[in-house]
């Protein structure tokens, strides 16, 4: 192997001459029985990523759509999930604290509280909750569906495969859907 090839490989691994620029791209489509799917990706090669995402949709019973075909079914929201056992505050006290700091809603489920807010209020709300000693299971700004679709056993298996294969793609950052798991 020539020395120039070896030196170029070493320089590339060290980041010398690294002119790669990454773009964030959103793909939208449908899974089994019309489940809406949004895929956020960051890539240095749009053609490769588009082909990979399209392949997953086609192979597992979905359809890649055009921009805007499903995004209207989602809202961008700040979502904070708190385990009930991790906080000494009751539901009413937690709700007052959250609402006073920009929350839109607090839902109580079996083992967790889920607080939602506008994206611009997320930082303030999460900092206020942390200052009050509350720890989070999950805290992120994400796309929240306006409605959910329930699938039969066959549709659920195909949907699980689509989500699994999309998660395996290197360029995929987030996948949002309105499947009622």
Q: What's the whole-model pTM score?
A: 0.78
State residue 17's pLDDT score: 54
CA atoms within 13 A on the CB side of 52: 18
| Chain centroid, CA 63 distance in Å | 19
Is it the case that residue 39 has pLDDT exceeding 60? Answer: yes
H/E stretch holding 125 reads helix 122-131
CATH entry, 21-72+146-177, from 3.30.70.980, 3.40.50.720, 3.90.79.10, 3.90.480.10: 3.30.70.980
Q: What is the pLDDT of residue 20?
A: 67
Q: How far is CA 109 from CA 86, 89, 91, 96, in A?
A: 14, 15, 11, 17
Using CA atoms, how far apart are residues 57 and 53, in angstroms rounded to an integer? Answer: 6
As a whole number, the mean pLDDT across the chain is 88
The CATH code of the domain at 75-145 is 3.30.70.980
Percentage of residues of the chain with pLDDT beyond 90: 52
Residue 107 CB neighbour total at 10 angstroms: 10
Sequence ranges of the domains in the chain: 21-72+146-177, 75-145
CB atoms within 10 A of CB 74: 19
In this structure, are residues 128 and 80 in contact, taking their beta carbons and an 8 Å threshold?
A: no
SS3 79: strand
Q: How far apart are CA 27 and CA 67, in angstroms?
A: 7
Residue 116 has pLDDT above 60, yes or no: yes
**pLDDT at residue 119 greater than cutoff 90:** yes
The two three-digit tokens of residue 156, written as one number:
């659920």
pLDDT, tens digit (0-9, with 9 covering 90-100), for 80-115: 999 988 888 888 888 999 999 999 999 988 888 999
| Average pLDDT of the segment spanning 21-42 | 91
Residue with tokens 């055009």, as numbered in its chain: 66
């Amino acid at each position: 192997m020539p020395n120039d090839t070896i030196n170029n490989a070493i320089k590339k691994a060290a980041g010398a001459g690294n002119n790669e620029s990454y773009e964030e791209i959103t793909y939208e489509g449908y899974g089994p029985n019309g489940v809406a799917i949004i895929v956020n990706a960051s890539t240095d090669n749009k053609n490769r990523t588009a082909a990979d995402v399209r392949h997953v949709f086609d192979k597992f019973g979905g359809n890649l759509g055009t921009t805007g075909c499903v995004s209207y079914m989602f809202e961008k929201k700040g979502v904070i999930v708190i385990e009930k056992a991790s906080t000494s505050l009751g539901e009413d006290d937690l709700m007052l604290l959250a609402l006073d700091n920009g929350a839109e809603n607090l839902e109580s489920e079996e083992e967790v509280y889920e607080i939602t807010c506008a994206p611009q209020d997320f930082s303030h709300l999460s900092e206020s909750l942390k200052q009050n000693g509350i720890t989070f299971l999950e805290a992120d700004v994400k796309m929240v569906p306006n409605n959910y679709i329930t699938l039969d056993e066959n549709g659920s298996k195909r949907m699980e495969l689509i989500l699994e294969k999309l998660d395996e793609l290197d360029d995929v950052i987030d996948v949002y859907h309105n499947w009622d798991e």
